[in-house]
Amino acid sequence: MGYRTESMHGAGSPQAQRIVIARQANFEAKKKLAKAIAESPAKKYFCR
What is residue 26's three-state secondary structure?
coil
For 17, residues 6+ apart whose C-beta sits below 8 A from its C-beta are: 4, 6, 7
Rounded distance between C-alpha atoms, residue 8 and residue 35, angstroms: 35
Looking at residue 14, what is its pLDDT? 82
Taking only the tens place, the pLDDT of each residue in 1-48 is 555 555 555 667 888 888 888 888 888 898 898 888 888 776 666 665
CA angle 11, 20, 13 (to 5 degrees): 30
Please give the Cα distance from 11 to 1 (Å, whole number): 18
